[in-house]
Amino acid sequence: MFDFHNFWQAHAPIISILIPAFTSFILILFGNPGAGSLKQDWRQPWRRGISLASVILGLITAVSYLIIASTGQISVYQLSEWSAPFGIVLVLDRLSAFMLVLTYTLALPVLWYASDNWDTRGRYFHTMFHFLLMGVCGAFLTGDLFNLFVFFEILLMASYVLLLHSQGRPRFQLGVHYVTINLLASALFLVGLGMIYGSVGSLNMADVARLIPTLDADQHKLAVAGGLLLFVVFGIKAAMLPVGFWLPKTYAVASTPVAAIFTIMTKVGIYAILRINGTVFDDALAQSILRNVLMAIGLITSIYGVIGALGADRLRRFVGFMVLSSIGTLLIAIAMFSSQSWAAALYYLVHSTLVAAAFYLFCGWITSQRGTFKDHLKVAPKMKQEKAASFTYFIIALMMAGLPPFSGFLGKVFILQATAESAYQSWIIAIILIVSLLSILALTRVGFILFWRATPPEDDQSKEAYAAYQALPEVAPNRNDKAIYALLAVLMAYVVFASPIQQYTAATAQQIQDHALYTATILKTDSQGLPISVQPYDPHYLPETKYGGEVEDPNALLIPDIIATPTLQGEHISEYKQRQIAEQTLQAPTIPNNTQLKPMEAN
């Protein structure tokens, strides 16, 4: 009988990638008649139902992964049954499971809101939404640097389409800038990977981390330079200064649900910095450079973001600058390079993602009820839902400013507690407190303009302003306020369960820094307990394949350790190779029947 539980655990990491991938393919097969016809298209309810069901299934999967990872187990999935570093692997640990749950927790209310109206304003919205989820999930799960590049490209290509969703000249103009910046980042990514592979001979994360300290001086410098180049790329994705100026304007022109889901994309950059530059390049030279640079960048980004928010002229840009400021706070915590600071960063990361998404959704509510004023920070007539909107804004503002008893306050407290062993303690405390104060001032300014200084609506029926005001909707866009309340409820629960969550993030930070465990779990070892790898890289080495002829391979005895038994017994391992394995190991347990081996004809 089919054992679903064992199947689920055996294929755990890849299922989270396959769910959005297959959903995207199915939605493509539905076709799209065009944005103008989607509302009347009989297939649209099917698209919405399949899309929402997929996200719900993805959330259930992510939670099950979190349960598996919470035991401390690291699950490795070998694609094509080849072990690392010779094959590509997916790795599910505490950090990746944590990020997957965050992704789907955000995706579900955003997609539910978008499925009411926004998905009819452009073609292939649901398809691109799931391609984006596929790229994000793959980036969190991959254990290979090149595969990280591949998943980055998948999520970026989907984001290009989503950014232009609903069309419009501003979206197209800033979309071109966004594509150009990310194409440059992708080119730098490839250059960095080439430098690492040319010096290390591997792109598996665990293998690279193991080999970098063993390199000679010249190769070591080249590898470190490649790692720092990747840091620049991840910095562009995370929107840190001085390569993050694109975020406030770009996210400001995106449609409301797209801007909300994009808040997870900057966290992919943060995750990559933490995973790659924080753990893979665990080297004295790389760490000394990175700590000082990252701390300075974090401090500057945090203060710049809140200053930009003080001068913002539109609510969406205001939110973008506040997102920049929160990214700076995260970088400060990561730059302290301690398990306590990383645990604090992970706790604050969830808060900053969800509250920013709720704020972008709130921008859609404000825009719908202010008519021609939209989200411009100018005094306008009172909104018809002034009490509900003002109260919602008040809660969001308290959360974003980091005031008690909300999750932003706890996150900053955890970060401040982690400064005890930092050489920059006074700077960190000063900047975080100053940024918090300026955030309160900036949020008060926005509330003052939107609500307290709002003028009474026109009551003269003979004037056009009266008719324009009466034409405005009486309530928030359908599902908009409910999606906001769902995200705020999650943040409330995040505070209630802060203790077990903080324990999980602390264990996650410790697991990330346990490089020996990560290496031992991913890499196979030989009879002497040494990791099986090829180093240094030999460009003249030609491994034998089924059609490659007879090539003497001194590493044949290692083959049974790095591929699965079914693959070893398959037709792609030639008889000549089987004989080499048997001769070098002086035994033949991996050969199905030694008497069936026949000498290969000479070429």
Cβ partners under 8 Å of residue 367, min gap 6: 256, 374, 375
Q: Residue 419 above 70 pLDDT?
A: yes
C-alpha 458/C-alpha 372 separation (Å) is 14
Q: pLDDT tens, 374-406?
A: 888 888 888 878 888 889 999 999 999 888 889
Q: Residue 327 above 50 pLDDT?
A: yes
Q: pLDDT tens, 509-544?
A: 998 888 888 888 888 776 677 777 765 555 555 555
Q: Tokens 């109206």 — which residue?
A: 117
Question: In this predicted structure, what is the pLDDT of residue 228?
Answer: 87
244 — phi, psi (to 5°)? -120, 20
Mean pLDDT across the stretch 26-48? 77
| Cα diameter, the chain | 101
Q: Residue 105 above 70 pLDDT?
A: yes
Contact 116, 479 (CB under 8 A): yes
Contact 34, 112 (CB under 8 A): no
Contact 414, 348 (CB under 8 A): yes
Q: Residue 591 above 50 pLDDT?
A: no
Between 570 and 475, residue with greater pLDDT: 475
Question: In this predicted structure, what is the pLDDT of residue 597?
Answer: 32
Q: Does an H or E element contain 230, and which?
A: helix 217-238
C-alpha 522/C-alpha 89 separation (Å) is 8
151-155, 171-175, 307-311, 591-595: which range is least confident on average?
Answer: 591-595
Collapsed DSSP state (helix, strand, coil) of residue 533: coil
For residue 530, count other CB atoms closer than 10 A to its CB.
9
Q: Which of 594, 559, 562 is nearest to 575 (CA)?
A: 594
Q: Retrieve residue 254's tokens.
A: 């995106």
C-alpha 96/C-alpha 137 separation (Å) is 8
Report the b/e string of 140-168 with b at 16+ CB within 10 A: bbbbbbebbbebbebbbbbbebbbbbbee
Report the b/e string of 88-109 with b at 16+ CB within 10 A: bbbbbbbbbbbbbbbbbbbbbb
Contact 532, 560 (CB under 8 A): no
Q: pLDDT tens, 86-99?
A: 788 899 989 999 99
Question: In this predicted structure, what is the pLDDT of residue 504?
Answer: 93
Q: Retrieve residue 168's tokens.
A: 């419009």
299 — phi, psi (to 5°)? -65, -45
Contact 331, 324 (CB under 8 A): no
The single-letter DSSP state of residue 484 is H
pTM over 0.75: yes
C-alpha 157/C-alpha 17 separation (Å) is 16
Question: Mean pLDDT of all residues in the chain?
Answer: 83
Q: pLDDT tens, 41-98?
A: 778 788 889 999 999 999 999 999 999 899 888 888 888 777 778 788 899 989 999 9
Q: Within 13 A of 531's CA, how many CA atoms are on the CB side?
A: 22
C-alpha 219/C-alpha 217 separation (Å) is 6
Question: In this predicted structure, what is the pLDDT of residue 595?
Answer: 34
Question: In this predicted structure, what is the pLDDT of residue 97?
Answer: 93
Question: In this predicted structure, what is the pLDDT of residue 1?
Answer: 44
Question: What DSSP string runs through 46-72?
Answer: HHHHHHHHHHHHHHHHHHHHHHHHTTT
Q: Residue 287 above 90 pLDDT?
A: no
Q: Tokens 């955030």 — which residue?
A: 439
Instruction: Return the ∠ at Cα 427 (arms to 423 and 430), rounded to 5°.
Output: 140
Question: In this predicted structure, what is the pLDDT of residue 140?
Answer: 93
Question: In this predicted structure, what is the pLDDT of residue 494?
Answer: 92
Q: Band of the pLDDT at 601, cuts 50, 70, 90?
A: very low
C-alpha 399/C-alpha 498 separation (Å) is 15
C-alpha 401/C-alpha 31 separation (Å) is 44
Cα distances (Å, whole numbers) of residue 507 to 71, 215, 342, 527: 10, 31, 10, 32
Mean pLDDT across the stretch 454-481? 75
Q: Band of the pLDDT at 437, cuts 50, 70, 90?
A: very high
Q: Band of the pLDDT at 563, cuts 50, 70, 90?
A: confident
Percent of the chain clearing pLDDT 90 (strictly above)? 33
Q: pLDDT tens, 230-269?
A: 988 999 988 888 887 888 888 888 888 999 999 999 999 9
Q: Residue 594 above 50 pLDDT?
A: no
Q: Which of 43, 192, 17, 30 is nearest to 100 (CA)?
A: 17
